[in-house]
Amino acid sequence: MKAAAGFLRQEDGPRVAVFDTTGWDTHANEGGAEGQLAGRLKALDAGLAQLKDALGPAWSDTAVLLVTEFGRTAAVNGTRGTDHGTAAAAFLVGGAVAGGRVVADWPGLSQRALYQGRDLNATLDLRSVFKGVLAEHLGVAPRALEEQVFPESAAAKALRGLTRA
């Protein structure tokens, strides 16, 4: 995080960084507040705090989008973990974020509300979040988003108001 922040805070440095973390595929023994999932979340929190500290004043111009490539099932499996699922949460943090809210249509966790009776029901295309951040925060043109970044994604409209103008 410190090394990335060193590059990102430079006036002529990169505007985008990608971080990949592993160990989130917790099929067994996730635990509660003291389990392996809590430990990974604690490490993520520490990493984000380190990024914020290392960016210094540049943090006020920063947007960090935290996403996963798959969700988890709503119910615990037989080995006290969760299996691959469909929907998941994404988090947008940073000084440039117009935060303080949750953007979601929460379907609930009742058996009837779950997708195929086991997963959270996806209510928002994640590309809409990416498009919103890329357009508002980085100034990527709508046409480029539709044709180059996310081809054939016209149904996923860019979310507006995610970052401060």
Read off the pLDDT of residues 91-126 as tens digits, 9 standing for 90 and up.
999 999 999 999 988 989 999 999 999 999 899 999
Q: What average pLDDT is seen over the chain?
A: 93
Query: What is the separation, in whole angstroms, between the first and last Cα of the chain?
Result: 26
Residue entry with tokens 């949460």: 89
Domain boundaries, the chain: 2-103+111-119, 125-165
pLDDT band at 146 (very low <50, low <70, confident <90, very high): very high
Residue 72's DSSP bridge partners are 84
In tens, the pLDDT along 58-104 reads 999 999 999 988 889 999 999 998 999 999 889 999 999 999 999 98
Higher pLDDT, 127 or 70: 127
CB 91 within 8 A of CB 104: no
**Percentage of the chain modeled with pLDDT above 70:** 100
Residue 23, pLDDT score: 86
In the predicted structure, residue 53 carries a pLDDT above the cut 90: yes
CB 131 within 8 A of CB 139: no
Amino acid code (one letter) for 9:
R
pLDDT band at 32 (very low <50, low <70, confident <90, very high): confident
In the predicted structure, residue 27 carries a pLDDT above the cut 90: no
In the predicted structure, residue 165 carries a pLDDT above the cut 80: no
Helix ranges, the chain (H):
2-8, 36-55, 126-138, 142-144
Q: Is 114 exposed, middle or buried (0-12, 13-18, 19+ CB in 10 A)?
A: buried
